[in-house]
Amino acid sequence: MQTLTPHVYWAQRHAEIYLRVELSDAQNLDIGIQENVLHFRAQGHGAKGDNEYEFSLEFLEPVKPEVTQKSTQRQVNITVRKQEHCWWDRLTRQERKPLFLAPDFDRWLDESDAEMELRAKEERINKVSIESRIPKDSFLGLKKGYLFMYNLVQFLGFSWIFVNMTVRLFILREDSFYDTFHTIADMMYFCQILAVAEVINPALGLVRTGVIPALIQVVGRNVILFVIFGSLEDMQNKAVVFFVFYLWSIIEIFRYPYYMLACIDTEWKMLTWLRYTIWMPLYPLGVLAEAVAVIQSLPIFDETRLYSIPLPKALGQSLSFSYILQLYLVLMFLGLFINFRHLYKQRRRRFRSKKRKAN
């Protein structure tokens, strides 16, 4: 039986060499590496029919002595691992390529393509590794369903407030300022009582956001709504009620649908931009309107002595609740600073991550 050389095709990656030997029904395979030289011998059907085929290749750089092989009916696949992860200019030590050797264009990549493939492979491995370390949450669907419904109800509530106030403004003009509370208060009560969940949700780990910023906003709004507007009839007919409610509703009709869509892994770019941008002028204006409401309520609390704190006779009859509200004014602007800083950091992180993904 005549000894012949088969057709061999090769390709490489930074860590491996791939050889494809065109030999059908290969038998008596003898493949090994000695002194950085690959020796191949087998019987099979090649370019010259059924014969014994063999070849040797001395690699350009050191390789590991282990060889991985897989024989099929049509070919023999050989994988050799490099000692160092690097890119070779050629396969063999000899500069002149053996006549039986050719590139495997089905697997051929240039160096830049191989680097991209390697990077993508590492990212997939890292992603799988991270995901495997994170325990699966069996209640994730239930949590997302709850958050979706919560944000949907709040969106519908504040949308009703916004549309109602806008229509009344166009029809009644400035007259709509003075009966806003009697028209809108019930829905605003409902939405702001429900907003207590925004403090509970991060406390329970249902959402990844700070408890303190949510607590500041919820407590601040409820003080204005229930203590200032709800308990003082003289405040309910003032124009400041309109501006407070209107500014609150404009912010929320963009915030809640953004979170609602996030629950179903959906994003609208325009909505994202509005959610992270429109609060910048509106939030300080809302706090300013709340401060005006507090200042307007001070003389009313002094006159009515509502919520006044009893004192011993030696110190006087009582301490007016207006003094507590004056302290609250200071805390209100401190809360504005804390929340504004928190929201601005959120905005910067959000758009920075989007920019990285785009690049």
DSSP assignment letter at 61: S
- Amino acid occupying residue 86: C
Digit-coded pLDDT (tens) for 308-332: 888 777 666 778 899 999 999 988 8
DSSP assignment letter at 205: T
pLDDT at 46: 83
d(CA 257, CA 20): 56
Helix (H, G, I), strand (E, B) or coil at 166: helix
d(CA 147, CA 206): 8
Active site residue 290: yes
Rounded to the nearest integer, the mean pLDDT of the chain is 86
pLDDT band for position 129 (cuts 50, 70, 90): low
pLDDT band for position 127 (cuts 50, 70, 90): low
pLDDT band for position 346 (cuts 50, 70, 90): confident
d(CA 57, CA 91): 9
d(CA 95, CA 278): 66
Digit-coded pLDDT (tens) for 17-55: 999 999 888 888 899 999 899 999 998 888 788 888 999
**Residue 306: pLDDT above 60?**
yes
Q: 9 - beta bridge partners? A: 20, 102
Selection from 293, 324, 289 nearest residue 306 by Cα: 324
**Residue 125: pLDDT above 70?**
no
Selection from 279, 296, 283, 303 nearest residue 241 by Cα: 296
d(CA 198, CA 214): 6
- Of 283, 303, 307, 323, the catalytic one is 283
Q: Is the dihedral of CA 216, 220, 223, 225 positive or negative?
A: negative
Q: 101 - beta bridge partners? A: 8
- Of 290, 303, 307, 323, the catalytic one is 290
Active site residue 344: no
- Amino acid occupying residue 101: L
Digit-coded pLDDT (tens) for 151-192: 999 999 999 999 999 999 999 998 899 999 999 999 999 999
pLDDT band for position 120 (cuts 50, 70, 90): low
Digit-coded pLDDT (tens) for 257-273: 999 998 888 888 899 88
| Strands, E assignment, 47-90 | 49-58, 63-71, 76-82
Helix (H, G, I), strand (E, B) or coil at 11: strand
